Structure 1
Amino acid sequence: MAQFINLFKVFTLLSFAPLCSFCYNTNAGYLYPQFYDRSCPRALEIVKSIVAKAVAKEARMAASLLRLHFHDCFVKGCDASILLDSSGTIISEKRSNPNRNSARGFEVIDEIKSALEKECPHTVSCADIMTLAARDSTVLTGGPGWEVPLGRRDSRGASLSGSNQNIPAPNNTFQTILTKFKLKGLDIVDLVALSGKIIKTISSSSCYGTFKTRAFEVGQ
């Protein structure tokens, strides 16, 4: 139970990370769970249904979606910047060392976004979709549930350098990883909860060799 409480703490902190300026929802001044109750009443149901289908098809997708949210939130906040492809002045975060040939689950987010655009066009942000998908993945694999504050804004830009510098990597020293967590207001308990306990909670893999490799290859 303690590991679930710590995991909840981590994602509560991540979910309130700084937001960027662009949002489909022009009146989004702050976050609250009922944000879409009127504008898109079935939003949470649709997200959960598609996540459940994806996890049923491939169990490790739960870990991948959780990890995708984690990698997004560690760069500029939980703003879906990790979803942006390179174009014009944007250099995609997908090309960073921690994400290249590693981050996965994008097709699930795309499917959710497509379904929500049909249900309620230009209403639900990708940032909220990713946050809900991370929560639903945790619940579907036996973890705790929690209310997700909603109303996040989608970023118009990405940060390749931020992705390379801020996301903990398998080849980082333990002290470097801990420092990166501390910069986000997280401590060593949160590091263990996110990096270690996720593996035991939702990863189907049983052995990765070293603790750091297990922690950051989960969901690959």
Structure 2
Amino acid sequence: MAAISQQRVKICLVLLCLVSASAYSTSSSTTSSGTLSISLLNPLFYAIKCPQALDTIKKLVMNALANDPRMGASLLRLHFHDCFVQGCDASVLLADTGTFRGEQSALPNVNSLRGFEVVEKIKYALEHECPGVVSCADILAVAARDSVVALGGPGWPVSLGRRDSTTASFSGANTDLPSPFLNLDGLIAAFQKKLFTANEMVALSGAHTIGRARCLLFRSRIYNETDIDSTYANQMRTYCPKAGGDSNLSPIDITTKDVFDGAYYTNLINKKGLFHSDQQLFSGGSTATQVKSYSTFPSLFKFDFANAMLKMSNLSPLTGTQGQIRKVCSRVN
């Protein structure tokens, strides 16, 4: 097992920047409903119509992270919470109105998602440079990748050409986004619904190597569960009292909170997973070996994460004449 893992790591190091050659051509992509659609995405989509688009997004993402490193995790999470509902169509960015209820007020998102102002700042700059060209959905996909890279994680080729939805799904956000209270079987089922394997689920869970969590989401674990290091539990209780303080924040990865690395998996081995769902990846049984591999070979984790993110960014994109290019990301034209 160790020899195989070492050989795979060597291959990963060589191929990390290539991730998937298919990303550079028209390809089939996975839809959020578990079927396949033909994607017209490619990394050079804006090469003629808005050649500075990627540089603009990267610059403004870097500026945002310089002011608040936590924003990297927030932008990554926005992309995830977008793609896992209707697909990668920027539906998560649509704000509620008197006649419209979007995804932001759904239970997994309310008082939790952040980074909207960074996306709007990027959109404003791109509308000034290339009016009506760059979609909010593409901004989310690129900003997520650039955030991961800025915090020490892997890059991957982001295919472009997504368009923005004119709808959102409050019910879908409540049912399709995996809960931090799920057991391993529930996690596997939630990701299988989007055609991800259990291995890809474990890799994508490594996004929790950055970011913060509210006390409300981990209180039951640190006070009631037994597969948790006692010293760690006591440390987390300083962030999260038994009553009150629901919005108090703790790093999900207490070891290297703003660095994209493999420490998240080492924490799980040491019974220092913050969420119940995190610890299930090691304590639940069937995925424990993969957790050990990622802890030992963080380059392997980064390679698998990049491939899984590339797959996720192709969940049910709107292309061609579908949807629209929003002028403001928070509302339809």
Shorter-chain TM-score range: 0.7 to 0.9
* Residue number among 21, 34, 49 corresponding to 1:39 in the alignment: 49
Distance 2:165 2:275 in 1: 35
Q: Tell me the CA shift for residue 90 of structure 1.
A: 2.7
Compute the displacement of 1:211 (Å): 4.6
Q: What is the DSSP-based 3-state SS (H/G/I as helix, E as strand, rest coil) of the residue aligned with 1:95?
A: coil
Q: 2:275 aligns with which of 160, 185, 210?
A: 210
Q: Give the 5 Å matches for 1:89-128.
A: 89-128=99-138
User: Percent identity between the aligned chains?
Assistant: 47
* TM-score, reference length from structure 1: 0.81
Unaligned 5+ segments in structure 2 are 1-8, 24-28, 33-38, 213-250, 255-272, 281-333
Instruction: Sort the Cα spacing of 1:48 and 1:17 in 2 relative to 1 into closer, same or farther, 3 A.
Output: farther
- Out of 146, 167, 188, the residue aligned to residue 178 of structure 1 is 188
Aligned counterparts of 1:157 and 1:88: Cα–Cα separation in 2: 15
Higher relative contact order by CA 8 Å / sep ≥ 6: 1 or 2?
1
CA contact (8 A) 1:73 1:79 kept: yes
Partner Cα distance (1:40, 1:132) in 2: 14
Deviations, residues 67-112 of structure 1 (Å, cap 9, x unaligned)? 1100100011000000001236531100001000111111110110
CA-CA distance at 1:214 after TM superposition = 8.3
Is 1:199 aligned with 2:208?
yes
Question: CA 1:103/1:65 → structure 2, altered by over 3 Å: closer, same or farther?
Answer: same
Q: Given that residues 17 and 78 in structure 1 are in contact (C-alpha distance below 8 angstroms), is that contact kept between their aligned partners in structure 2? A: no
Larger Rg belongs to:
2
Check conservation: 1:74, 1:167, Cα contact below 8 A: yes
| Aligned amino acid, residue 95 of structure 2 | D
Task: Verify the 8 A CA contact 1:17 1:73 in the aligned structure 2.
Answer: no
For the structure 1 residues 34 and 98, does the alpha-carbon distance in structure 2 shift closer, same or farther, using more than 3 Å as the test? same
Specify whether residues 147 and 128 from structure 1 end up closer, same or farther in structure 2 by C-alpha distance, changes over 3 A only. same
Q: Distance in 1 between matches of 2:66 and 2:194?
A: 33
Between the aligned partners of 2:128 and 2:55, the Cα distance in structure 1 is 14
Task: Describe the shift of the 1:147–1:172 C-alpha distance in structure 2 as closer, same or farther (beyond 3 A).
Answer: same
Distance 1:96 1:214 in 2: 25
Number of aligned pairs? 197
2:169 matches 1:159: yes
Q: TM-score, normalised on structure 2?
A: 0.54
* Residues 98 and 40 of structure 1: CA distance in aligned 2, closer, same or farther (over 3 Å): same
Unaligned runs of 5+ in 1: 20-28, 216-220
Structure with greater strand share of residues: 2
